[in-house]
Amino acid sequence: MRVLVTGGAGYIGSHTVLQLLAAGHQVVIVDDFSNAKPTVVNRLETLASQPLTVHAFDVADRDRLDALFADPAAPIDAVIHFAAFKAVGESVAKPLDYYRNNLGATLALAEAMLRYDVRHLVFSSSATVYGESAPVPMTEDLPTSATNPYGWTKVMNEQILRDAVVAHPLLRVALLRYFNPVGAHPSGQIGEDPAGIPNNLMPYLAQVALGRIPKLSVFGDDYDTVDGSGVRDYLHVEDLAAGHLAALEWISTHDRPLSVWNLGSGQGTSVLELVRAFERASGREIPYEIVARRPGDIATSYADPSLAERELGWRTTRTVDDMCVDTWRWQQANPHGYPS
């Protein structure tokens, strides 16, 4: 298949691109590099031993999308749509930017797919759509809601696509609800490269281990969890990328218009457990202090991934220790992320 990958230069997109190529698919990347460095593309080309087709534009640009979909020499068979802004705190400060980018991209893309009769779409959703009071393990049939504009863009995008498949029943859409993706490509050449100080725990830990940040602030030790710190379902980005290939394959061979799958390990790991795992992986002590809870955080989040296992034959295979080892390899090889 020729697969259009929006956001293909980003963290999850770049790992998925490598797996698509390894599986024999052709890949066309659209990324506006709002949160990626162009040097990612050189790394991907080296790892894949082939040149890549990359278009640098905003997915909301209908004229550029039309030109891409209309190219008779390179017809698009399916789309994996990663492109979005993803920082929760920034979304509270700049809600309109988030709604414009995250909804505008999906609308323009879905409309272009309909114009050019492209029927298969895999969409990056998030466990954030389960809101703040969902029971664990979280199942796909739970109601959706959100606590911040970023989360609402995922809930709204899901609704847009649910409505689209009703009106256009030939569409085949997968909504993939990721839990907490971490880790890096085993080569150490591709990984997560947050701009500025990381918001998320794993890249923050990696920078503390490196000595770039003096210590970790643990946001609360008074949750009703194994040790009082927040519990999350971490999954290796390589397992997550494999989930996209499985979902793409499934929607290409089944007739259900809309599918929703959790992609998680089904295991909860606390902040303090992850600190210990990272210490083992890096051989370094991680200084930390307990501080107040972060507003908006929930105590515990982990998936029931059994639907994806049953239908897709997909499950995670890498452990939390693997995730830390691979993150550390990437971080050590690239202490300042990708070169500019």
DSSP 100: H
Residue number of the CB closest to ligand NAD reads 10
Strand partners, 54: 29
User: What's the gap between Cα 260 and its chain centre?
Assistant: 15
- For ligand WQD, the closer of residues 259 and 270 by Cβ is 270
CA distance 176 to 189: 26
CB 11 within 8 A of CB 241: no
Q: Is 178 in the site for ligand NAD (CB under 6 A)?
A: yes
Given the complex with ligand WQD, which of 24 and 196 has the nearer CB atom? 196
Pick one of 82, 98, 302, 338: the residue that binds ligand NAD (CB under 6 A).
82
- 201 makes contact, choosing from ligand WQD, ligand NAD, none, with CB < 5 to 8 Å by partner type, with ligand WQD
Q: Which of 98, 150, 178, 234 is catalytic?
A: 150
Q: What residues have CB less than 8 Å from 131, skipping those under 6 apart?
A: 143, 144, 145, 146, 147, 151
Residue indicated by tokens 């507003």:
295
Determine, following the binding rule CB under 6 A, whether residue 250 of this chain makes contact with ligand NAD.
no
- Which residues lie below 8 Å from residue 191, measured CB to CB, with a gap of 6+? 11, 183, 184, 185, 326, 327, 330, 331, 334
Stretch that binds ligand WQD, among 23-31, 37-45, 199-207, 235-243 (CB under 6 A): 199-207
Binder among 42, 145, 217, 319 for ligand WQD (CB under 6 A): 217
Q: Write down the least CB distance from residue 177 to ligand NAD, Å.
A: 8
Backbone angles phi, psi at 325, to 5 degrees: -60, -45
What's the gap between Cα 74 and its chain centre? 26
Q: Per CB under 6 A, does 221 bind ligand WQD?
A: no
Q: How far is the C-alpha of 101 from the C-alpha of 93, rounded, in Å?
A: 14
Q: Is 276 in the site for ligand WQD (CB under 6 A)?
A: no
Beta bridge partners of 269: 232
Strands (E), 264-306: 269-270, 288-291
CA atoms within 13 A on the CB side of 204: 16
Least separation in angstroms between residue 216's CB and ligand WQD is 6
- The reply to whether 235 sits near ligand WQD by the rule CB under 6 A is no
- Give the position of tokens 């809930």: 155
What is the rounded CA–CA span in Å between residue 257 and residue 320? 34
Q: Which is nearer to ligand NAD, 169 or 296 (CB)?
A: 296
Question: Which two three-digit tokens encode residue 149?
Answer: 């504009």
Nearest distance, CB of residue 218 and ligand WQD, angstroms: 4
Pattern 105-124, ligand NAD, x by CB under 6 A: x------------------x
Binding of residue 219 to ligand WQD (CB under 6 A): yes
Taking CB under 6 A as the binding criterion, the range among 10-18, 65-73, 264-272, 303-311 that sits at the site for ligand NAD is: 10-18
In terms of Cα–Cα distance, which of 16, 11, 114 is closest to 62?
Answer: 114
In the list 180, 259, 282, 327, the residue contacting ligand WQD (rule: CB under 6 A) is: 180
Do 171 and 164 form a contact (C-beta atoms < 8 A)? yes
Q: Would residue 150 show up in a list of annotated catalytic residues for this protein?
A: yes
For strand 180-182 and strand 26-30, is the pairing parallel, antiparallel, or unpaired? unpaired
Binding to ligand WQD in span 39-98, by CB under 6 A: 86, 88
297 binds ligand WQD per the rule CB under 6 A: yes
Reduced to 3 states (helix: H, G, I; strand: E, B; else coil), residue 22 is helix
The nearer residue to ligand WQD, 41 or 176, going by C-beta atoms, is: 176
Q: Indicate which single residue of 80, 108, 122, 271 sits in contact with ligand WQD (rule: CB under 6 A).
A: 271
Instruction: Give the residue, chosen from 123, 152, 204, 328, that forms a contact with ligand WQD under the rule CB under 6 A.
Output: 204
Catalytic residues: 150
Which residues here bind ligand WQD, judged by CB under 6 A? 86, 88, 126, 128, 180, 199-201, 204, 216-219, 230, 232, 271, 294, 297
